[in-house]
């Protein structure tokens, strides 16, 4: 068996083992009544509650609402982040005038802006989308900015020597060079987007997995609350996996570096 294959097997088995240990510890804590079952439901009850929610259809509407708010806000925030990073990376004046404002905006806790957003936009989907876009903006922006600045200046000079326009250089040179950096930001941003959506559901009471957790916790239905938490964890893992899959297919010229990195990490 090659080192690459053995490393791949270990990388697949390790999360399964760690997850099994967590579930065993959770089961033991419930069995030994470390906490009342109304506060800490056993994992089998949480899984059963989640399964029943899918069968009866009670979980589908909150799940769909959370997915819509997260997806729309994430798409808008990511597009704005890449576009603004391209502008600031290619214009010294834009960087001087705007970078400090971007950093200052990032320093503000986004949850602190929620009351203002509710005043301006109400308690509907728009408010959730705005906060989600704000939350995932900076991780994508920071990585995209570094990626655009890391483009080989000699290659840019060559394109300029042949009379290429700025837009041609951006889409043909800088964007491919920054693609790996952008996808790193997208992978981080999708987690921030999901967190922001759930927080907004907590605050606004808008239908979603966040409000479902809040309602079931208030009635001490810990099995349903933990079932929704499990679903949120699965959503986060799935979203990150989709971004990595997109990177693998879109940034195909960078696969060699990923493979080399895995080989270097393999035991000698």
131-178 pLDDT, tens digit per residue, is 999 999 999 999 999 999 988 888 888 888 888 788 888 888 889 989
The percentage of the chain sitting over the pLDDT mark of 90, rounded to a whole number, equals 39
Asked whether the predicted pLDDT for residue 183 surpasses 50, the reply is yes
Q: Alpha-carbon distance 156 to 176, whole Å?
A: 12
- Read off the pLDDT of each residue in 51-80 and give the average, rounded to a whole number: 93
In 3D space, the residue among 167, 131, 35, 144 whose CA is nearest the CA of residue 89 turns out to be 144
Q: Alpha-carbon distance 231 to 160, whole Å?
A: 50
SS3 131: helix
Global pTM?
0.85
Q: Which ranges of 150-174 does DSSP label H, i.e. alpha helix? A: 153-161, 166-169
pLDDT digits (tens, 9 = 90+) for 24-33: 887 777 777 7
Measured in whole angstroms, the distance separating CA 82 from the mean position of its chain's CA atoms is: 16
Residue 243 and residue 186 in contact, taking contact as beta carbons nearer than 8 Å: yes
Q: Alpha-carbon distance 145 to 119, whole Å?
A: 33
Residue labelled with tokens 């966040």:
210
Residue 213 and residue 225 in contact, taking contact as beta carbons nearer than 8 Å: yes
Residue 38's pLDDT band, with cuts at 50, 70 and 90, is low
Torsion angle of the four alpha carbons 192, 198, 203, 209, in this order, in degrees rounded to the nearest 10: 180
Angle at the Cα of 22 (from 16 to 26), degrees rounded to 5? Answer: 140
CATH 2.160.10.10 fits 38-254, yes or no: no
Q: What is the pLDDT of residue 255?
A: 66
Asked whether the predicted pLDDT for residue 206 surpasses 80, the reply is yes
Q: What is the pLDDT of residue 266?
A: 36
């Amino acid at each position: 068996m090659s080192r690459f294959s053995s490393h791949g097997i270990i990388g697949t088995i390790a999360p399964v083992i760690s997850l099994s240990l967590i579930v065993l510890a959770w089961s033991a804590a419930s069995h030994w009544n470390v906490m009342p079952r109304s506060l800490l439901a056993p994992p089998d009850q949480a899984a059963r509650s989640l399964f029943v929610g899918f069968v009866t259809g009670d979980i589908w509407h909150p799940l769909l609402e959370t997915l819509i708010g997260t997806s729309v806000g994430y798409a808008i925030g990511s597009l704005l982040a890449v576009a603004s990073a391209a502008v600031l990376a290619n214009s010294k004046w834009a960087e001087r005038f705007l970078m400090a404002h971007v950093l200052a905006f990032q320093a503000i806790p986004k949850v602190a802006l929620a009351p203002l957003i509710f005043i301006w936009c109400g308690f509907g989907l728009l408010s959730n989308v705005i906060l989600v876009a704000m939350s995932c903006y900076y991780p994508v922006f920071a990585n995209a900015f570094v990626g655009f600045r890391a483009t080989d200046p000699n290659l840019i000079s060559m394109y300029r020597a042949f009379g290429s326009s700025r837009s041609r250089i951006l889409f043909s040179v800088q964007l491919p060079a920054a693609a790996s950096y952008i996808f790193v930001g997208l992978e981080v941003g999708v987690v921030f987007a999901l967190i922001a959506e759930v927080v907004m559901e907590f605050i606004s009471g808008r239908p979603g997995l966040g409000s479902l957790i809040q309602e079931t916790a208030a009635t001490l239905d810990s099995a349903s609350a933990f079932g929704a938490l499990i679903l949120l964890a699965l959503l986060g893992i799935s979203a990150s996996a989709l971004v990595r899959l997109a990177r693998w297919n879109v940034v195909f010229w960078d696969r060699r570096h990923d493979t080399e990195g895995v080989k270097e990490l393999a035991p000698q």
